[in-house]
Amino acid sequence: MDINATEADIAEMMRPPETVMRLDRMGSFHQTRLSFMRSLLRMMKRENWEFSRPVWRIDENGVGVAVYQAKGPARSYSLVAFAHDLDPAERTDRSIATAWDATFTMFDGIPTEEDLARLSQSVPKQEAGRVSDSELSISRANKSVRLFEHVLERLSAGQQPDLAQIGSVGYLMRTTAVYGSGKFGAASRDKIKDRPEVSRPFQVEMLSVYLTRAYTADLVEHLAKAKSPDTAVAINPELRRRLGVGNSTGLGMAPYLINHPKLIHNWICARETALARVRAQAEAAPDKVEAFRDALLRATSSIKDWSTTDEVQSARISELSSDLEILNAHVAAFGFDGAQPWNSLFDWSAANLSLEAQELLVSLLIEPFGDLVDDLLDHMSADEEIDFRIDGTMDVSDLRRILSSRYSWAQKIDFSDDENCARFWYVSANKLEPRLGDRADEEDVAPYEEPLDIAHGVSNLAGVLTTFDDKKTIAEFLLKWPRFRKLIRRIQIVGKYPYGEINDNIISSNHRPIDLLRCKLSFFGAIEFDPRSDRWVRINTFKNAPFPHELGGETHDNWAYSPAGEEQ
């Protein structure tokens, strides 16, 4: 790694948590070269992973089982896919669903026929079934009926699908949940955390989705052949790559960002450090300028595929498109020859572009600098157990100091105003999923309220702390006030990991939960965010990525933004 800047330069360039950890900005994040999908494919390509489909027992009605195997240097992982004939009346993205077009599990190793028989009894039931320590995730997907039927019709008639229709939907199937470690009987993360190939965050889940995409394309080609053996054709490889795999995500994902402050700090800090390293570069090498211009061109073109019916997001995409024109014009005239030219560009964006465009520029600035930033991927996991214990030897005045430095924003909120605590988070008895409710609708929320009301808690804690002697220890305080244990543990963690706290009140009436989802999904590498309300969103994943059988050939690392017509 060649860092053409001192550590002090880089530290000075870090944006503070008070700037970054705001929901409106987090809700404007885009995928970067540090995103988990991209890092997974980069790693598998570098290590020459081999892919195969040892089992394909799917009939002409699209019912059966398939196995996709990914073989790395040390171990193999297998996606086991069960294909179902779903009654259209049962097809729903909601978590109330009990049947799906396809159900999956990621098997640790290579499953035997006995394993497949066992899994056929549990995986199709998803939450209602139980898997074992041999399974690393479970997931399910439904067809985008509109696009699936179109592609099937065209292929079976010997024709290629329409590019515009592929562009408008983007995928043949969308996953409606991907459950990772330790859920419904699956193995805990402990089992895999020391394996280099999957130790980075969400790599098993990303691999599962990547292989699911291959399954969706194989399935439609298989059904076309079954329908019209004499005329059916396969999808043109370039068109095929434009098919991603969709995902529909609701509130279930949102509390994750609150419940894992150290992990989130590591994600955000990696992204911010990458940006700071680039900004701190004294000059811009010609090859980097060229790569940046290329990334900008690709993003400008790809953003045109992004559409949504959500009014707020639609307006933001329009503004982003206008801003990209401004940015392109600015870059065309920009000399890249002054001192710290990347930083000049960044500073200009803060004064001239919307948040959507500012954060897209962050992604674009990082893009050419793999040699400078990719090492940060190894700092994006977190051992949260190390910080589980409270340091009770700290005295009350030290805790107050952390509150002053990290939580002054929370202490400015007036919680006597009902609007500032209008909502509460709970877990629904029906589906065991996190939900957001209106406080005014319930008589007593206390037994049900999830501990996500951080700002409100800090406000209460600050009040109680005023009654306690500054010199007393936190251990003494907590013996008297055990209800603050969780919050004080958190405050101590955030004292060490300041990007771990969202500096906004997520129980106020004006908070948009999809901002939380967007932030997390951007780290996964998702694109084309399509909010369906203020609390659930559809996305596309792995669109334009090489398929497993193509990964060993010539591929473009920045596949996430690939203009139509480009060969991978």
Restricted to residues 371-400, the positions that interact with other proteins (CB under 8 A) are 388-393
Helix (H) or strand (E) holding 434: strand 434-438
Of 80, 232, 284, 488, the one binding other proteins (CB under 8 A) is 488
* Cα–Cα distance list, 531 to 138, 166, 229, 539, 546 (Å): 24, 19, 40, 8, 27
Applying CB under 8 A, the span of 38-46, 204-212, 283-291, 469-477 interacting with other proteins comes to 469-477
- Measure the CA–CA gap between 160 and 153, rounded to whole angstroms: 9
State the minimum distance, in angstroms, from the CB of residue 188 to other proteins: 4
* Cα–Cα distance list, 528 to 17, 171, 468, 538, 560 (Å): 26, 11, 51, 8, 11
Q: Is 546 in the site for other proteins (CB under 8 A)?
A: no
Structure tokens at 163: 């590019």
State the minimum distance, in angstroms, from the CB of residue 536 to other proteins: 6
What amino acid occupies position 55?
A: V
Q: Is 363 in the site for other proteins (CB under 8 A)?
A: no
Q: Is 166 in the site for other proteins (CB under 8 A)?
A: no
State the minimum distance, in angstroms, from the CB of residue 438 to other proteins: 8
Of residues 304 and 486, the one with the C-beta less far from other proteins: 486
Strand partners, 80: 67, 105
Residue with tokens 């701190």: 280
Of 54, 109, 182, 237, the one binding other proteins (CB under 8 A) is 182
Of residues 393 and 466, the one with the C-beta less far from other proteins: 393
Q: Is 489 in the site for other proteins (CB under 8 A)?
A: yes
Query: Which residues 71-100 are close enough to bind other proteins by CB under 8 A?
Result: 88, 91-96
Of 181, 212, 216, 281, the one binding other proteins (CB under 8 A) is 181
Q: Is 193 in the site for other proteins (CB under 8 A)?
A: no
State the minimum distance, in angstroms, from the CB of residue 355 to other proteins: 25
Q: Is 130 in the site for other proteins (CB under 8 A)?
A: yes
Q: Is 252 in the site for other proteins (CB under 8 A)?
A: yes
State the minimum distance, in angstroms, from the CB of residue 176 to other proteins: 7
Applying CB under 8 A, the span of 54-62, 245-253, 498-506, 518-526 interacting with other proteins comes to 245-253
State the minimum distance, in angstroms, from the CB of residue 506 to other proteins: 14
State the minimum distance, in angstroms, from the CB of residue 437 to other proteins: 6
Count of alpha carbons within 13 angstroms of residue 488, beta-carbon side? 27
Q: Is 483 in the site for other proteins (CB under 8 A)?
A: yes
Structure tokens at 298: 């690709």
Residue with tokens 């509390």: 255
Q: Is 8 in the site for other proteins (CB under 8 A)?
A: no
What amino acid occupies position 427?
A: V
Q: Is 446 in the site for other proteins (CB under 8 A)?
A: no
Query: Which residues 514-533 are close enough to bind other proteins by CB under 8 A?
Result: 532
- Measure the CA–CA gap between 130 and 432, rounded to whole angstroms: 16
Count of alpha carbons within 13 angstroms of residue 56, beta-carbon side? 13
DSSP for 372-414? Answer: HHGGGGGGS---GGGGTS--TTSBHHHHHHHHHHH-HHHHTS-
Q: Is 499 in the site for other proteins (CB under 8 A)?
A: no
Q: Is 487 in the site for other proteins (CB under 8 A)?
A: yes
State the minimum distance, in angstroms, from the CB of residue 486 to other proteins: 3
Query: Site size for other proteins, by CB under 8 A?
Result: 71
What amino acid occupies position 490?
A: R
Cα angle for residues 318, 562, 364 (degrees, 5° grid): 65
Applying CB under 8 A, the span of 15-23, 227-235, 266-274, 424-432 interacting with other proteins comes to 424-432
Of 479, 496, 510, 557, the one binding other proteins (CB under 8 A) is 479
Structure tokens at 141: 């997907």
Of 34, 186, 345, 360, the one binding other proteins (CB under 8 A) is 186
State the minimum distance, in angstroms, from the CB of residue 305 to other proteins: 17
Cα angle for residues 233, 236, 240 (degrees, 5° grid): 115
What amino acid occupies position 462?
A: A
- Measure the CA–CA gap between 459 and 515, rounded to whole angstroms: 23
State the minimum distance, in angstroms, from the CB of residue 452 to other proteins: 10
Of 434, 495, 525, 548, the one binding other proteins (CB under 8 A) is 434
Q: Quick check: 202 and 35 in contact, CB under 8 A?
A: no
Residue with tokens 């792995």: 542
- Measure the CA–CA gap between 470 and 501, rounded to whole angstroms: 25
State the minimum distance, in angstroms, from the CB of residue 146 to other proteins: 5
